[in-house]
């Protein structure tokens, strides 16, 4: 690695990583460990480690944990302030740990600043300290993540009461009334968190059907839980305008052509994220992007420039930290291995919404299996009825259900939805079963520890509530 002395500095490295996300940092550590020189450029010093430990998964799940601990006698505002402070302490610990983990490697240099491509191998960096730097590398990894979408609703972007998910998690003021625009998984998680902290939460979901990607019975079970927590859910809501007042703001929305208003202290748009590629100068690098800004990649995560790879949210794939991690495995196999690993190797990918209890899913829903023309069996049981799951009673959390979609001809597991205590852990066992073609009978007959939530698998897969008739052959 080389650098000049004064003025315009220059670094040459084997690998340049733009963005300190999960995939980028993992690849940087692995490549640096082999002796390759690596320069990692991160725009913000508070984002070492990427979205998850700083403004995403870790702080949000920390807030889930603390919200569950609030007692009726706790002052909501004071308890909330203390919770935010504790969560931010963990965030700072992880941020520093991520930074130290890379800078401790002699062959890795971390630069804090904004990187802009000037050609396919070079970026110009405007450093946080005011200096400028150029970095040239043979191989480039882009791992800049994604950013929240704020809809172009009249009055929303200019509202003093608008809070992104990042801002809401870091604010020490607990809103008494919170409006969440959007009925997706992010909105669900935040609704559950803030209702438990003491806010009055209203979700404004655009679709006529609540959680349209889930089966109707699963969506209804989720809604029953949120209703029981006190969350107000409005479906078919078309938000038209946000009007600020002196001390609060009014959200104007239509349902079935009738206008309604909702006055709140904070508005959270939970309407998705888009790849963070603005200002990267990708056109100067000859890197093609899609309409939403996502970097176009092949199955090996190579861009239109074969030496440039895109990892994580920025390539338009599933926006999960563990996908970014798996992206690093694919790229490292290209750079250090046999080059055989691809995105097609992933198979089933689990997902969890950390409401209380969590909703974890993997594979096909019942409606997706039917649309695919599969002959299926459906096994389902309410948690309160699962006698083989004493842990649910021991921890006093018997809400929810477990559902399996099975292939009626092969007994293979096509998909599952687990709305239960420990679902975020249980789903990983089901995912392995799907990937390794373990049948529902094998899953049911396996020996599990006791008392555990996994024991539910001894019972639920045999609770068949529906089986398609055999296909007639002529």
Separation CA 448–CA 451 (nearest Å): 9
Where b means 16+ CB within 10 Å and e means fewer, 244-276 reads eeeebbbbbbeeeeeeeebebbbbbbbbebbbb
Separation CA 369–CA 391 (nearest Å): 31
Q: Count CA within 13 A, CB hemisphere, residue 379.
A: 24
- Contact, 384 vs 398, CB < 8 A? yes
Residues in the chain: 474
Annotation-wise, does 61 bind a ligand?
A: yes
Choosing from 10, 173, 450, 466, which is the catalytic residue?
450
- Contact, 446 vs 455, CB < 8 A? no
Tokens, residue 349: 């990918």
Annotation-wise, does 144 bind a ligand?
A: yes
Annotation-wise, does 272 bind a ligand?
A: yes
Q: Kindly report the backbone phi and psi dihedral angles of residue 213, in degrees, each rounded to the nearest multiple of 5, phi listed first.
A: -80, -15
Which residues, in sequence order, are bridge partners of residue 267? 162, 179
Tokens, residue 296: 């176009």
Pairing of strands 132-142, 9-18: parallel
Note if 450 is an active site residue: yes
Tokens, residue 87: 């969560």
Pairing of strands 146-148, 359-363: unpaired
Annotation-wise, does 188 bind a ligand?
A: yes
Annotation-wise, does 99 bind a ligand?
A: no
Residue 74: alpha-carbon gap to chain centroid: 31
Annotation-wise, does 146 bind a ligand?
A: yes
- Contact, 59 vs 87, CB < 8 A? yes
Q: What is the DSSP letter of 11?
A: E
Annotation-wise, does 207 bind a ligand?
A: no
Q: Kindly report the backbone phi and psi dihedral angles of residue 155, in degrees, each rounded to the nearest multiple of 5, phi listed first.
A: 85, -15
Annotation-wise, does 187 bind a ligand?
A: yes
Annotation-wise, does 185 bind a ligand?
A: yes
Residues at the binding site for FAD are 61, 144-146, 313
Catalytic annotation, residues? 450
Residues at the binding site for NAD(+) are 182-189, 272
Residues at the binding site are 61, 144-146, 182-189, 272, 313
């Amino acid at each position: 690695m080389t650098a000049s002395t004064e003025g315009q500095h220059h670094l040459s490295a084997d690998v340049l990583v733009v963005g300190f996300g999960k995939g980028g940092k993992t690849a940087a550590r692995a490549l640096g460990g082999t002796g390759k020189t690596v320069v990692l450029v991160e725009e913000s010093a508070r984002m070492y480690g990427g979205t998850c430990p700083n403004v995403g998964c870790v702080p949000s799940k920390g807030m889930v944990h603390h919200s569950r601990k609030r007692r009726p006698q706790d002052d909501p505002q004071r308890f909330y302030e203390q919770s935010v402070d504790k969560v931010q302490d963990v965030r700072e610990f992880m941020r520093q740990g991520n930074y130290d983990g890379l800078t401790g490697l002699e062959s890795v240099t971390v630069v804090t600043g904004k990187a802009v491509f000037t050609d396919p191998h070079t970026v110009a960096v405007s450093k946080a300290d005011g200096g400028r730097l150029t970095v040239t590398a043979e191989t480039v990894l882009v791992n800049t993540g994604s950013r929240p979408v704020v809809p172009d609703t009249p009055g929303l972007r200019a509202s003093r009461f608008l809070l992104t998910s990042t801002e809401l998690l870091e604010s020490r003021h607990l809103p008494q009334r919170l409006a969440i625009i959007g009925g997706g998984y992010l909105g669900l998680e935040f609704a559950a968190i803030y209702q438990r902290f003491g806010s009055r939460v209203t979700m404004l979901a655009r679709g006529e059907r609540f959680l349209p990607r889930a089966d109707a019975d699963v969506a209804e079970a989720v809604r029953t839980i949120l209703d029981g927590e006190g969350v107000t859910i409005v479906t078919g809501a078309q938000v038209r305008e946000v009007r600020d007042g002196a001390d609060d703001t009014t959200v104007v929305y239509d349902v079935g052509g009738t206008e309604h208003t909702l006055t709140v202290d904070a508005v959270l748009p939970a309407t998705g994220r888009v790849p963070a590629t603005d200002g990267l100068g990708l056109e100067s690098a000859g890197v093609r992007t899609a309409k939403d800004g996502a970097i176009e990649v092949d199955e090996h995560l190579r861009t239109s420039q074969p030496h440039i790879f895109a990892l994580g949210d920025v390539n338009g794939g599933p926006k999960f930290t563990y996908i970014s991690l798996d992206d690093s495995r694919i790229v490292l196999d290209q750079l250090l291995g046999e080059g055989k690993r691809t995105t097609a190797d992933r198979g089933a990918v689990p997902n969890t919404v950390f409401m209380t209890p969590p909703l974890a899913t993997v594979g096909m829903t019942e409606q997706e299996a039917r649309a695919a023309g599969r002959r299926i069996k459906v096994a389902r049981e309410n948690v309160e009825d699962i006698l083989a799951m004493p842990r649910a009673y021991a921890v006093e959390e018997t809400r929810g259900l477990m559902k399996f979609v099975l292939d009626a001809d092969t007994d293979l597991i096509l998909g599952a939805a687990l709305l239960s205590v420990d679902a975020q852990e249980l789903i990983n066992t089901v995912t392995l079963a799907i990937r390794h073609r373990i049948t529902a009978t094998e899953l049911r007959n396996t020996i599990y520890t006791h008392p555990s939530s996994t024991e539910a698998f001894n019972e639920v897969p045999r609770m068949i509530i529906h089986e398609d008739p055999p296909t007639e052959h002529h």
